Amino acid sequence: MEKKYLLILLVITLVLLPVHFLQKIFTLHKQCTNCFFLQEKHMVKEKSFLTPGFNMDEFTAIQQTRVDVLTLTPWIAPIVWDGTFDPAVVHALHPPDNLSIILAVFVVGNYWSFLQPFLESAGKYFMPGYNVTFVVLTERVGENAPTVSLGGPGRTVKMMQAEKFDAWHENALRRMPRLLQMLEDNELHFKPDYFFTIDVDMLFKAEVGPEILSDLVTFLHPGYFGTSRSHFPYERRQASLAYLSQTQGTFYFGGAFYGGHPESVIAMLRQCWANLQDDASRGIIAVWNEESHLNHYFALKRPPTLVLSPEYCWASNWALPSQVHFARVFSVAKNNFRLHGKR
């Protein structure tokens, strides 16, 4: 009798179990398909919500195309590489109307010859279609800026006075207090939505667009991306306020290009300039001048909200590694001994 029951139980189990599993697999598949479908619908809906009038035909499925590089910092700020963003979507998110942008550049002493090619390339490739005031800070303010096409009526050059110092490093680091003064005193009589500054020994080679717009922006120095922290040329002397220990800092950022919302840039410039002055009062100049203080600020005070990849400042005489598809901005090869003096 017991044997009979056991047999029935066995038959029931053998029949029901596969049916149950088949059912499970089927519903799971259905759920997944639904879930993917919903996700896709949601994404499309979100995009059209964020960007009214955005052409749906331009919508391309989002997929992780860059797996060869880090695309997020540990504090979840994007690291912008080619392929990590859709230019049309980013453009639609930042409509050019009513957006004002400043790009400030210093041309002091024998750097004047960099200005014309810089402006020509920036006029063409820096935020095309947006209102940009290219602010040229120079001791030669009475002279005409080179006449170049800047790509539209909302794009102008404004010459502003800057002091010339004897030492190269002084000219480089003194950019900070001058920019601070310009922004704090509202010397341009308008507050831009975004403020950027860049070295003059640079050439734009491809579009640098609204993907760079964020609260506090910097870039990965091309010489140190992918290298370990122990190789970063942070200031290692404890006497300097730019000091970072072997366990501090995540990336090495270059000093050539940074920006963001004016308030955030002002806060950063104030802190860096105060530290530079404090160091100077004790006879210390950080190893890479203001760049060392910027790295200290980003490491310990406030991390950037967006990090540009080395595409945004590659060295013109360096080969491109596979991760750098192309350089949007090149730093021009120059004779540092001649321009920097003894350093």
Ligand X SMILES: CC(=O)N[C@H]1[C@@H](OP(=O)(O)OP(=O)(O)OC[C@H]2O[C@@H](n3ccc(=O)[nH]c3=O)[C@H](O)[C@@H]2O)O[C@H](CO)[C@H](O)[C@@H]1O
* Residues near ligand X (CB under 6 A): 105-109, 111, 168-169, 171-173, 199-201, 221, 254-256, 288-291, 313, 331, 336, 339-340
Residue 214 or 292 with smaller CB distance to ligand X: 292
Which of the following is catalytic: 211, 235, 290, 291? 291
**Which of 270, 135, 240 is closest to 198 using CA atoms?**
135
108 binds, among Mn ion, ligand X, none (CB under 5 to 8 A by kind): ligand X
225 neighbors 310 (Cβ within 8 angstroms): yes
Instruction: For residue 291, state whether it binds Mn ion (rule: CB under 5 A).
Output: no
Q: Given strand 314-315, what is the order of strands in its sheet?
A: 202-204, 329-331, 314-315
What backbone torsions phi and psi does residue 265 show, to the nearest 5 degrees? -70, -40
Q: Choose from Mn ion, ligand X, none: what does 240 bind? Cβ within 5-8 Å by kind.
A: none
User: Closest approach of Cβ 175 to Mn ion, in Å?
Assistant: 11
Strand partners, 200: none
Give the CB-nearest residue to Mn ion. 199
| CB closer to ligand X, 172 vs 182 | 172
Does position 201 bind Mn ion by CB under 5 A?
yes
Residue entry with tokens 């350093």:
343
**What backbone torsions phi and psi does residue 316 show, to the nearest 5 degrees?**
-60, -25
For residue 258, say whether it is annotated as part of any ligand binding site. no
Contacts of 252 (CB under 8 A, 6+ apart): 220, 221, 223, 224, 225, 227, 232, 233, 234, 295
Within the chain, strands assigned E span 79-80, 100-106, 131-138, 155-161, 194-198, 202-204, 216-219, 257-260, 306-308, 314-315, 329-331
CB-nearest residue to ligand X: 255
Tell me which of ligand X, Mn ion, none is bound by residue 254, counting a contact when its beta carbon lies within the kind-specific cut-off of 5 to 8 angstroms: ligand X
200 is in an annotated binding site: yes
Site string for Mn ion, 158-197 (x = CB under 5 A): ----------------------------------------
**Known catalytic membership, residue 291:** yes
CA atoms within 13 A on the CB side of 207: 12
Among 125, 199, 209, 257, the residue binding Mn ion under the rule CB under 5 A is 199
Which partner, Mn ion, ligand X, none, binds residue 313 by CB below 5 to 8 Å per kind? Answer: ligand X
Burial, 335: exposed, middle or buried (Cβ in 10 Å; 0-12, 13-18, 19+)? exposed
Q: What is the CA angle 325-330-332, rounded to 5?
A: 145
User: What positions carry a catalytic annotation?
Assistant: 291
Return residues touching Mn ion (CB under 5 A): 199, 201
Bind-site residues: 106-108, 111, 199-201, 221, 291
Bind-site residues for UDP-N-acetyl-alpha-D-galactosamine: 106-108, 111, 199-201
